[in-house]
Amino acid sequence: MFAELQQDEDELQRFRDLARCNDGVGSMVGLFFSEQLDDIARAKAICAKCPVREECFEGAVARREPWGVWGGQLFLNGKVLAFKRKRGRPPKNPQAQQIA
């Protein structure tokens, strides 16, 4: 039993050491749980080069993460969102806005 717990703790520490979002002080928490599209894109870019990305993603799916970027994907209520829209209504006539 103790050996299993120690193995789990060692594995968790290995994960923490490799996670690109872990700077030891939590300075990236806001980025990974932001609603801003540019923040979400930056978080996904950080994940793209993370050596534990697959483990992170699988864990997030298993835990049904309610929100945030995990393993390079944006989660909402335990599901992956293919894309996130900007807040507010879409423009009625986007071409007219480009001309103005």
Contacts with ligand SF4, residue ranges (CB under 6 A): 19-21, 46-47, 50, 52-53, 56, 69-72
Rounded least distance, CB 84 to ligand SF4, Å: 16
Rounded least distance, CB 70 to ligand SF4, Å: 5
Q: How far is C-alpha 76 from the chain's CA centre? A: 10
Rounded least distance, CB 79 to ligand SF4, Å: 17
Cα–Cα distance for residue pair 47/33, rounded to 1 Å = 13
Measured from the CB atom, the residue of 37 and 45 that comes closer to ligand SF4 is 45
Measured from the CB atom, the residue of 74 and 92 that comes closer to ligand SF4 is 74
Which residue stretches of 28-77 are H helix? Answer: 29-32, 37-48, 53-63
Measured from the CB atom, the residue of 10 and 91 that comes closer to ligand SF4 is 10
| CB neighbourhood size of 47 (10 A) | 21
Rounded least distance, CB 87 to ligand SF4, Å: 23
Cα–Cα distance for residue pair 49/42, rounded to 1 Å = 12
Q: Find the helix or strand (DSSP H, E) in which 67 lies.
A: strand 67-70
